[in-house]
């Protein structure tokens, strides 16, 4: 195989699932909403809630550290770390810089974040693929991490679609999990105010209806473009993964491509949706919106749920980032599930997590806001001790503090003196 046709894609994938969740029926009750609106109308069942000691750095670390361990990856082979995130913790310093330190990666490793709302991880993946394709980088690996906390104001229409989590992907010329097909790109960009988060706000602002319309417009454009470029139609795909801000959006997207394929009045049958989309979309119902990771957690879900039955499947993937930039592309699942079986961590993470009551969900939000202010370190460390392998311990002298080992609450203060400070 020569340079131009080298197989490239995702060698390994791992997911971090936050340890807590809120049941959407509990949220509906407090908000005075019919729970069927959240469960059926939006397709959301539960949403992942990060603890106040978590942030995009710690969640990215959890996903990436598990990947390095479960797939036995040699850190020295990683020459690029790209983090896709839209909930970055600093206006200048990338999440990638913190992760590089916490993961003990090589000094010969390029690090940066990408930003374009939920498209950011696809931008990072594209960059990583291009980097891997260079002859000078043959045999080296790139680490792409998507990590985000999706947060909207309490009581707002976006609140039931919140979520959190991280996905880590190892990109290389050994695409055991997913090999991208080499058709010309199908991308769409348009300046649109559908979702944004000003620097002074911890919560996203969204015009939900505009974003749904913009998403479908971008899907229609890229679907047509990719069909023209590749000659592939709906029946050529075994499964379709659509960016999932809430699960019902996947239904809307699927209906739109069915109509593009078969005519405006077409309504896809349940069996058709079940075959094309259901093996993946359940992850969104359980976790909520992962923003940058939302498309890639669907990939992880499909691999875990289908195992060997996913082998060799052709996938169509649609990535959408508000603002907006979008892309449709296709890829083949690797031939053998032995490469990912037992290593992804999605279902195991879901089994481990605990249900929060509504008041604790509010308390977590308030604590997270407090911990993200300068001088919060002493407040954060005083309550620390929840057993996470890596914790965000507030801010001291304008620097974020991360501890990389677990201690009981009584020992927290003593241990904090030795907590690793990542500058
Ligand atoms: N039982 C069943 N379904 C119900 C219901 C009930 N009692 N009440 C309402 N619904 C349905 C509605 O008919 C609607 O379905 P449809 O979209 O198929 O028409 C769905 O639930 C949502 O109701 P709607 O009134 O449109 O919700 P909303 O205006 O409160 O909020 C969003 C919906 C998507 C705008 C909002 O969640 C949001 O802003 N999300 C964040 C942005 C986002 O995710 N954008 C996506 C593109 S990236």
User: In three state form, how does the secondary structure of the chain look?
Assistant: CCHHHCCCEEEEEEEECCCEEEEHHHHHHHHCCCHHHHHHHCCCCEEEECCCCCCHHHHHHHHHHHHHHHCCCCHHHEEEEEEECCCCCCCCCCHHHHHHHHCCCCCCCEEEEECECECHHHHHHHHHHHHHHCHHHCCCEEEEEEEEEECCCCCCCCHHHCEEEEEEEEEECCCCCEEECCCCCEEEECCCCCEECCCCCCCCEECHHHHHHHHHHHHHHHHHHHHHHHCCCHHHCCEEEECCCCHHHHHHHHHHHHHHHHCCCCCCCHHHHHHHCHHHHHHHHHHCCCHHHHHHHHHHHHHHHHHHHHCCCEEEEEEEECCCEEEEEEEEECCCHHHCCCCCCHHHHHHHCEECCHHHHHHHHHHHHHHCCECCHHHHHHCCCCCCCCEEEEEECCEEEEECCCCCHHHHHHHHCCCCECC
* Mutate-to-test residue for ligand 1 from 34, 188, 208, highest number of ligand atoms within 8 A of CB: 208
pLDDT of amino acid 415: 44
Whole-number Å distance, alpha carbon 212 to ligand 1 midpoint, is 10
Return the pLDDT at 416.
Answer: 46
> What integer pLDDT is reported at residue 386 of this predicted model?
67
**From the CA of 386, how far away is ligand 1's center (Å)?**
35
Find out whether the beta carbon of 210 lies less than 6 Å from any atom of ligand 1.
no
Residue whose CA is at the smallest distance from ligand 1 atom 17:
41
pLDDT at res. 382 = 85
Q: Atom 43 of ligand 1 has which residue's CA nearest to it?
A: 208
Name the active-site residue from 118, 177, 324, 325. Answer: 118
Check whether domain 3-355 has CATH 1.10.630.10, yes or no: no
Cβ of 43 below 6 Å from ligand 1: no
Catalytic annotation present for 243: yes
Specify the pTM.
Answer: 0.95
Tell me what pLDDT residue 389 has: 87
- pLDDT tens-digit profile of 385-406? 767 889 999 999 999 999 876 4
pLDDT under 50 in the chain at which residues? 1-4, 406-423
Residue nearest to atom 4 of ligand 1 (CA): 37
Q: How high is the pLDDT of residue 383?
A: 83
**Ligand 1 proximity of 57 Cβ (cutoff 6 Å):** no
User: Annotated catalytic, 118?
Assistant: yes
Q: Where are the domains of the chain?
A: 3-355
């Amino acid at each position: 195989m020569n340079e131009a046709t080298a197989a490239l894609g995702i060698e390994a994938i791992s997911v971090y699932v936050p340890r807590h969740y809120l049941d959407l029926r509990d949220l509906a009750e407090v908000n005075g909403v019919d729970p069927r609106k959240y469960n059926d109308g939006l397709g959301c069942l539960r949403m992942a809630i990060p603890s106040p000691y978590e942030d995009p750095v710690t969640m990215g670390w959890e996903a990436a550290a598990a990947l390095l361990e479960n797939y036995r990856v040699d850190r020295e082979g990683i020459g690029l770390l790209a983090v896709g995130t839209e909930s970055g913790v600093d206006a200048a310093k990338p999440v990638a810089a913190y992760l590089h330190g916490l993961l003990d990666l090589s000094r010969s490793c390029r690090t940066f974040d990408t930003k374009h709302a939920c498209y950011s991880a696809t931008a990072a993946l594209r960059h990583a693929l291009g980097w891997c394709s260079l002859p000078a980088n043959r045999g080296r690996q790139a680490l792409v991490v998507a990590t985000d906390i999706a947060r909207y104001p309490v009581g707002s229409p976006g609140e039931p679609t919140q979520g959190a989590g991280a996905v880590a992907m190892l990109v290389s010329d050994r695409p055991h999990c997913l090999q991208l097909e080499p058709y010309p790109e199908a991308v769409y960009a348009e300046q649109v105010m559908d979702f944004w988060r000003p620097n002074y706000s911890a919560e996203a602002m969204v015009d939900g209806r505009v974003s749904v319309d913009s998403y479908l417009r971008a899907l229609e454009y890229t679907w047509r473009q990719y069909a023209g470029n590749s000659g592939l139609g709906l029946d050529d795909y075994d499964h379709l993964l659509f960016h999932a801000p809430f699960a019902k959006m996947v239904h809307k997207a699927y209906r739109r491509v069915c109509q593009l394929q078969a005519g405006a009045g077409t309504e896809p049958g349940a069996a058709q949706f079940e075959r094309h989309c259901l093996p993946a979309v359940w992850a969104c119902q359980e976790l909520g919106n992962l923003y940058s990771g939302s498309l890639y957690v669907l990939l992880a879900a499909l691999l875990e749920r289908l195992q060997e039955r996913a082998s060799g499947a052709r996938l169509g993937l649609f990535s959408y980032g508000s603002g907006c930039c979008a892309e449709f592309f296709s890829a083949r699942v690797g031939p053998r599930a032995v490469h990912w079986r037992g290593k992804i961590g999605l279902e195991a993470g879901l089994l481990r997590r605990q249900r929060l009551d509504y008041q604790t969900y509010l308390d977590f939000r308030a604590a997270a806001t407090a911990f993200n202010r300068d001088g919060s370190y002493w407040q954060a460390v005083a309550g620390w001790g929840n057993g996470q392998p890596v914790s965000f311990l507030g801010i001291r002298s304008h620097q974020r503090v991360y501890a990389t080992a677990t201690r009981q609450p009584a020992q927290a203060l003593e241990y904090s003196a030795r907590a690793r400070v990542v500058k």
